[in-house]
Structure formats: structure tokens, C-alpha cells
Chains A and B, each alone.
Chain A
């Protein structure tokens, strides 16, 4: 009997924290609208990491991801005068990020189709967190696994990729992902389940 009660109270606590966080974002953005630069710095500090990491996994290039993330925050700053807290701030933020990433992937695909010679040129692969533990053999195995994970994610269609990354790494709920992608909750579920099915086929042997 105690377990569900603890679980419920923990959930309520989590919900309250999430709600407070949402209200805080909207409040900060309203202050930015009123010309408070410190609030923009606070928003940047709070969301910089998740946005850059999401974009990094989307485009698989650290440099490009950071440039796109700068564009995201620049757009947020430029739109401050007309900001209305009608949707969650993070939904809006990730909608801009996803839009930019999908556009970049589309342009990249067109470029690759036009000129396959440039495919391996100075694009710079995504940097992974260096792990200095273990032997060289373990490191090689780990690198191979990471390569497979990245390849499997890269092989997913753009929207499926975005849905999986938001679900897995940003821990977003279906309804919020639907808000970001501009589709219904059932469409998000369909995207996610197809993506996980593909990933199961490719990655199930890894762990």
C-alpha cells in the first residue's frame, strides 16, 4: 500500500516542479520582452545545453549544431516583442530547433545528391564525450557501438529522428512532441513506434 502512495506523492512533486519550471520560462520570456537582458541570459543558461545536444544528435555535427542553436536563440530574441505565453516555452523553442534541423538536413541531402565528392570533406563528425576508462580494446568496442548507434539514428527519416531524440533524451511526453512537430498525438506515437521498431532491428544486439 505504501508504494503507490510514495509514487503518487513523487509524481505530484515532479508535476509541481515541472509546472514551476514552465511558469518560470514564460515569466523570464515576458521579462525579456520588457527589455530585461538578464532574463534572456537565464533562459539561455537553462536551455542552451538541451537545444545544442538535440541539434547535435539531429545533424550529427557539433559545429553545425552550435550554429543552428545560436540561430534558435537569435530567433527567440528577435521574437521577444511579440511573445505571448500561449504554448510552453520549450515547445516553441524545440519547434524552432526542429524546423532549422530538418531544413538543414534537407539542404544537406540536396547538396549530397548534387556533389557526392563533398560528402567526406571538412564537415567534422560529432564529438563524443571522451571516455578514458578501460583498455584500448574496450575503447574500440565502445567506438564501434557508438558508430552503430549514430548510423541507426541517422538512417531514420527526419521527423522520426526528431521524435525519438525528444522522447529519449529530452524526456518529452507525446503531447509536447506533437506540439513541436505540429501533428496529432497519435501521429507522434506512430512515428515513435516505427522508429523504435527500426532501431530494435538495428541495435538490439548491442547491449
Chain B
């Protein structure tokens, strides 16, 4: 057997050795190795000491009041209104953690829907829909501009006409001065 410390599996072997979960062949092989390896022998001794030390920690039996207190809590729980019990369930982190595997799928779906709404085919017709609605307005604006130009032209023509009407009256009046 190669030295478990050099192989790097000494921790697992030591635990298996002290808990007695080695097969008889493994145990025999390990014990043979320990007879030649002081380091492994020391480690195994220390692990056995820890195992034995932990055995010293005995605890007293559960108190007699345990069941009575538990049943009192269960009865108290049963007396709560249904909405309070539901709220307790919903507000408990465990309830939401139980949905943990579904969260990435939900987030992915939400992202897909968002992307579809922003860049999907629904978005394109919206711009097309705007154009026909805006067209009459643009047309009326162009018409209004045309009307304005026409009116200005007409006003200028009227002014020219008025000037021409005034001109023959004043021209003969000046003629005698030049003559």
C-alpha cells in the first residue's frame, strides 16, 4: 500500500478506519502500512482519540414538556385565520426558494417578451400607422402655406394695380412743367 499521506487520501482513510467502515481487506492493508509508517500511525491515533473524545459528550433525554409545548403550538397554529396561515406560508423564504429553479426560466421569458415588444414586428407597423394619420396634417399644412403665398401674391398684384391706377392721374399733371 502506498502511503495515504503521499497519495493525498489520508483524511478519507482515517475517517473510514475510525468509523469501522473499511472492508476487512482495506483495514488489513492499512494496518500493515501503519506498522511501517509512523506518520500515518500518529494520525490514526489522533483520529481515534477525537472519535473517543466525542463519545464522551452525552446529553440528557428530551424534557417531558416537549410534546405538550409542541401540541400547544400546533393548536395555536390551527386557531390562526386562514389568511394569516396563507400569509405565513407566502412570507416564508422557503416558499419562494422552492420556486428557485423556475426563476431563470421566468427571467428568460420576460426578457424574450421585452425584446419582442421593443424590436419585434409589432413595432414596425406602429411607425407605418403613424404615417397615414400624419399625412392629412402635413397636406393641410402644405395647403395652408400655398394659400398664404397665393394671398401674398394677390396682395402684391393688387398694390401694383393700385399704383398703375394712380400713375395716369399724376403723369399728365407733371407734363406741362417739363414743356
Contacts and interface: CB of A to CB of B under 8 A. Distances in A.
A132 interface: no
B87 interface: no
Given A62-B60, A128-B60, A149 B73 contact: no
B70 A206 contact: no
Main secondary structure of the interface of A (DSSP, over half): helix
Interface in B28-72: 43, 45-54, 56-63, 66-67, 69-70
A196 B50 contact: yes
B59 A128 contact: yes
B57 A44 contact: no
Contacts of A48: 62, 66-67
Interface stretch (A19-27, A52-60, A106-114, A115-123): A52-60
A50 B43 CA distance: 30
B62 A203 contact: no
**Contact-size category for A:** 35 or more
A74 B71 CA distance: 9
Contact of B24 (A4, A74, A167, A204): A4
Contacts of A130: 60
Contacts of A57: 57, 59
Interface residues of B, number: 32
B158 to A, nearest CB: 92
Nearest to A52: B62
Given A3-B24, A78-B77, A204-B50, A129 B60 contact: yes
B70 A149 contact: no
A49 interface: yes
Contacts of B15: 167, 192-193, 196
Contact of B62 (A49, A78, A197): A49
A56 to B, nearest CB: 6
B4 to A, nearest CB: 12
Contact of A197 (B11, B24, B70, B77): B11
A199 B50 contact: yes
A175 interface: no
B47 A196 contact: yes
Given A145-B53, A193-B15, A127 B73 contact: no
A142 B53 CA distance: 10
A199 B51 CA distance: 9
Interface string A169-187: 1000000000000000000
Contacts of B24: 3-4, 7
A203 B49 CA distance: 7
Given A78-B77, A200-B46, A204-B46, A150 B57 contact: yes
A197 B73 CA distance: 41
B29 to A, nearest CB: 15
Given A193-B15, A203-B49, A142 B56 contact: yes
A58 to B, nearest CB: 12
Interface of A: 3-4, 7, 44, 48-49, 52-53, 56-57, 62, 66, 69-70, 73-74, 77-78, 126-131, 142, 145-146, 148-150, 153, 167-169, 189, 192-193, 196-197, 199-200, 203-207
Interface of B: 11-12, 14-15, 24, 43, 45-54, 56-63, 66-67, 69-70, 73-74, 77, 89
List 4 tightest A-B contacts by C-beta distance, closest first.
A193-B11, A204-B46, A207-B52, A129-B58
Given A126-B59, A196-B11, A199-B50, 14 more contacts: A52-B66, A57-B59, A69-B62, A70-B73, A74-B77, A78-B89, A127-B60, A146-B56, A196-B50, A204-B46, A205-B49, A206-B49, A207-B49, A207-B53
